[in-house]
Amino acid sequence: MTLKPWLEHYAHGVPADIDLSEYSSVVDVLERVCERFRDKTAFICMGSSITYGELDLLSRSFAATLQARGLKQGDRVALMMPNILQYPVALFGILRAGLTVVNTNPLYTGRELRHQLVDSGARAIVVIENFADVLERVREDVPVEYIFTTRVGDMLDFPKGAIVNFAVKHIKKAIPAWNLPGSERFSDALEEGNKLPFQPAQVGFEDLAFLQYTGGTTGVAKGAMLTHRNMVANMLQAKAWLGNLNTGEELVITALPM
């Protein structure tokens, strides 16, 4: 009897093992992809898109801003956004600065958000304005020092972005009143970072990439520690199972933030 009986159920062509030696981190994967496919579309949202080259520059800018704020390698940064173009820019910027991503459900109640921010020790957060009022309610109870706010249309093409932002706030009235003194616009952080020096972080396989929280169905949500090794392995596993795709031509629909 084989010690790995599941292998006989693998589809034809799926290898029994994957080789992780090609990459050193998620950042390594990202930077290679951005260099190889600079002019290809990386993400599309509401009809607007960014290329891998733009993703490279924008995420580098955000990473530089985070470093300028004094965040150190291993610090945690929370993301409280749905699938909008700002999400991958912020996520890759956090990783490139050597920091750890803490994904936060935009639909969290104040109690749930408080628990996650305290438990993770997040020093910064990027939050969409639609849910900034929830963060305001727990601001005094959490360790967050830096708050970056954004709007749905901020990275959409003109005039679509301006129209979307107007409609969300004034027609749909989907942005409750909020007040977060000291917060800054994510767009301003990108502009600032574009003028700042960026020091590439020395990120390795065993460094923590994500604190991914569970749904908390059996109690409070718990943070699963996902290293760069874990994430690269998962990428390569998915690639192996998806089969012979045309590299650089793949198109993937995402229901949840990446």
Has residue 143 been placed in a domain?
yes
Question: What pLDDT, on a 0 to 100 scale, did the predictor assign at position 2?
Answer: 66
15, part of any domain? no
Residue 88 lies in a domain: yes
Q: Is residue 151 assigned to a domain?
A: yes
pTM: 0.94
- Domain CATH code at residue 167: 3.40.50.980
Kindly give, in sequence order, each residue whose CB lies less than 8 Å from that of residue 142, ignoring residues fewer than 6 positions away: 113, 114, 117, 118, 122
The Cα 122–Cα 5 span in angstroms is 42
Q: What is the pLDDT of residues 56-79, one digit of tens each?
A: 999 999 999 999 999 999 999 999
Percent of the chain with pLDDT over 70: 98
Band (pLDDT 50/70/90 cuts) for residue 253 is confident
Whether residue 211 is contained in a domain is answered as yes
Task: For strands 124-128 and 146-150, give the pairing.
Answer: parallel
Q: What is the pLDDT of residue 217?
A: 82
Does a structural domain hold residue 134?
Answer: yes
pLDDT reading at 242 higher than 90: no
pLDDT average, residue stretch 34-51: 97
Mean pLDDT of 153-181: 97
In a domain, residue 251? The reply is: no
Write out the residue range of the structural domain in which residue 156 sits. Answer: 26-241
Question: Is residue 147 assigned to a domain?
Answer: yes
- Number of domains observed in the structure of the chain: 1
